[in-house]
């Protein structure tokens, strides 16, 4: 019996130590999770998804559009040489947009981590924000606003090919519809020259009747049309992410400014209290010396 008692005590101590370790790990996990800027994390994920959809689908859609124009609307390479160059420039711009936003979203996420920890330390009076930190947040807010305006223009520009392909899709659907009562299908044409995509001297420049129906059944048309829609949705998701970033940066800047003002007020108040205490002590010293 005497031998089993120490064994039971040691087991109880081990169980208590394990409970303290698990409690410490749990508190550490809660502390780490509390420092995660979830708003910035959601905006970063949305930005990655939106930019990936826009860049990937837009690049493939531009290639399919060029292939469709070369095969059906402009068979002479010199007629669409300018368009080919413009599409290649757009594709290089897409490469740049994808690379830039990948880096910029990570920087904004890191800024969110920094600001979240700075605000918590500021509230605990263990850390004081600097003017440089607030200026960096203001700079990111300004740059994000410029990028928001730029991507808003990109969103409108991406809607143009969606509109053109939608018109062709509707024209082909009207030709196939049994309720259309079309007597001469060859009179229904789509002339891409009127949109300024290719010059007016390009041959054939338009597609009518059965030729138009064949174009609508090609994989280039079907894939490009739906990829443009997905790219448009990706541009919209990126705009939402940038708006989210703007709200986060604006809130962080306001928090940092308010925390800095509060900290300055506390410093001034502490200094005034110390001056009052020193003055009171000096008066007490004078009174005691006069009494003596």
The reported pLDDT for the residue numbered 135 is 82
Neighbouring CB atoms inside 10 A of 112's CB total 23
Task: State the Cα–Cα distance between residues 207 and 189, nearest whole angstrom.
Answer: 5
Neighbouring CB atoms inside 10 A of 152's CB total 15
The reported pLDDT for the residue numbered 22 is 57
Comparing C-alpha atoms, which of 97, 109, 110 is closest to residue 147?
Answer: 97
Beta carbons within 8 Å of 12's beta carbon, 6+ residues apart: none
Task: State the Cα–Cα distance between residues 166 and 154, nearest whole angstrom.
Answer: 19
Return per-residue pLDDT of the chain as tens, 292 residues: 455 555 555 555 555 555 555 556 766 666 666 667 788 889 999 999 999 999 999 999 999 988 888 888 887 787 778 888 989 999 999 999 999 999 999 999 888 887 777 666 555 555 555 667 778 888 999 999 999 999 999 999 999 999 989 988 888 887 777 666 666 777 778 888 888 788 887 778 788 888 888 888 888 889 999 999 999 999 999 999 999 999 988 888 777 776 656 655 566 666 656 666 666 666 666 656 555 5
Element (H or E) spanning 261, and its range?
helix 219-291
pTM across the whole model = 0.76
The reported pLDDT for the residue numbered 183 is 65
The reported pLDDT for the residue numbered 3 is 52
Comparing C-alpha atoms, which of 98, 96, 100 is closest to residue 108?
Answer: 100
Element (H or E) spanning 190, and its range?
strand 189-191
The reported pLDDT for the residue numbered 23 is 59
Beta carbons within 8 Å of 223's beta carbon, 6+ residues apart: 60, 61, 64
């Amino acid at each position: 019996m005497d031998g089993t008692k120490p064994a039971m005590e040691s087991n109880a101590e081990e169980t208590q130590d394990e409970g303290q370790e698990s409690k410490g790990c749990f508190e550490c996990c809660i502390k780490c999770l509390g420092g995660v800027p979830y708003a910035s994390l959601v905006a970063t994920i949305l930005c990655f998804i939106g930019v990936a959809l826009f860049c990937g689908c837009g690049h493939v859609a531009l290639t399919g559009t060029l292939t469709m124009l070369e095969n059906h609307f402009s068979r002479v390479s010199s007629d669409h040489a300018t368009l080919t160059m413009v599409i290649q420039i757009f594709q290089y711009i897409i490469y740049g947009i994808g690379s830039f936003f990948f880096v910029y979203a990570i920087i904004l996420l890191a800024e969110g981590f920094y600001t979240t920890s700075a605000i918590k330390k500021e509230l605990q009076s263990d850390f004081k924000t600097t003017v440089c930190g607030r200026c960096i947040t203001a700079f990111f807010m300004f740059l994000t606003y410029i990028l928001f305006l730029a991507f808003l223009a990109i969103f409108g520009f991406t809607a143009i090919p969606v509109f053109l392909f939608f018109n062709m899709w509707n024209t082909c659907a009207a030709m196939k519809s049994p309720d259309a009562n079309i007597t001469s299908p060859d009179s229904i044409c789509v002339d891409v020259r009127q949109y300024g995509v290719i010059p007016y001297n390009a041959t054939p420049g338009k597609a009518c009747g059965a030729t138009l129906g064949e174009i609508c059944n090609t994989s280039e048309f079907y894939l490009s049309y739906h990829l443009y829609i997905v790219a448009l949705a990706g541009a919209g998701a990126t705009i939402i992410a940038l708006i989210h970033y703007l709200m986060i940066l604006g809130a962080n800047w306001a928090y940092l400014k308010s925390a800095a003002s509060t900290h300055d007020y506390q410093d001034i108040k502490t200094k005034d209290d110390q001056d009052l205490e020193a003055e009171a002590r000096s008066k007490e010293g004078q009174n005691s010396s006069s009494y003596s």
